[in-house]
Amino acid sequence: MKYRLSVLAVLAATTLMPACAPLLIGGAAVGGALFAVDRRTSGAQVEDQAIELKATARMRELATLGNVSATSFNRLVLLTGQVPTEADRVALGEAVAKLENVRSVVNELAVVGNTTFSISSNDAVISALVKGAFIDARDLQSNAFKVITERGVVYLMGIVTEREASRATDLARTVAGVQKVVRVFEVISEEELARLLPKPAPK
């Protein structure tokens, strides 16, 4: 029941809540207080938002027949979606790589027909289930991960340790409908993670 409620909460947050409303995950507000819990610097978060807007706009200019999107995390950009030709796929990757502040690009665009509404809806459910599994896991900080699903393939992004990466990958693989899990992580050491996490308030 607890797991089911977590999944329903994620689904409600992704489909029903206004874009400007803060979302509570693990007791921390996502919205105005996002900077307090995100492992990226505040500057990187702002740059990621700008990169996503510019990258998506640029790709749609170049591939008008495709269905494309860009997700940026700490200036690492993941490209997902569908394009008509291999030339389009290569051109879009190169165009995004030239954008300001982009460190690198993982080009996962597929040369296939555009995804149907039913497939997209199923992908949204899979993403919600994966996020729900992360929320229920006591040994993971769920908001450290970004989850993107495309045709049943789950892409995981975040600044995480190898332990966290392996645990999250194993959990995602257990979710119904997941065809494959692709790790797009920036892996850090446990010592680096300890420096990133907020220090407990003195008693």
**pLDDT tens string 92-133:** 999 999 999 999 999 999 999 999 999 999 999 999 999 999
Instruction: Provide the residue ranges of all domains of the chain, joining segments of one domain with +.
Output: 2-37+115-192, 42-111
Cβ atoms of residues 145 and 168 within 8 Å: yes
Characterise 14 by phi-psi region: left (phi > 0), alpha (psi -120 to 50), beta (else): alpha
Cα gap 77→130, rounded to integer Å = 21
pLDDT at 17: 38
Provide the residue type at 131 as one letter: K
| Range list of β-strands (E), 112-169 | 146-150, 153-161
Where residue 144 falls among pLDDT bands split at 50, 70, 90?
Answer: very high
Query: Poorest-confidence range of 6-10, 25-29, 80-84?
Result: 25-29
pLDDT at 64: 85
pLDDT at 15: 39
Query: Poorest-confidence range of 16-25, 74-83, 88-97, 187-196?
Result: 16-25
Nearest to 25 by CA among 44, 3, 10, 36: 10
pTM here is 0.80
pLDDT at 27: 32
Exposed/middle/buried for residue 97 (C-beta within 10 Å: 0-12, 13-18, 19+): middle
| Range list of β-strands (E), the chain | 23-25, 28-30, 67-73, 76-83, 104-107, 110-111, 146-150, 153-161, 180-188
pLDDT at 203: 67
Where residue 198 falls among pLDDT bands split at 50, 70, 90?
Answer: confident
Cα gap 46→72, rounded to integer Å = 10
Please state, for a pLDDT cut of 90, what percent of the chain lies above it: 74
Tokens of 59: 């790709």
* Residue 88: half-sphere exposure toward Cβ, Cα within 13 Å: 22
Residue 20 pLDDT greater than 90, yes or no: no
Residue 14 pLDDT greater than 50, yes or no: no
Neighbouring C-beta atoms of residue 23, cutoff 10 Å: 16
What is the average pLDDT value for the chain, to the nearest integer?
A: 85
Question: Hey, what CATH topology would domain 42-111 get?
Answer: Histidine-containing Protein; Chain: A; (3.30.1340)
Residue 34 pLDDT greater than 90, yes or no: no
Residue 4 pLDDT greater than 80, yes or no: no
Q: What are phi and psi of 56, to 5 degrees?
A: -65, -45
* Mean pLDDT to the nearest integer, 196-200: 77
* Residue that the structure tokens 């690198």 belong to: 104
Higher pLDDT, 97 or 19: 97
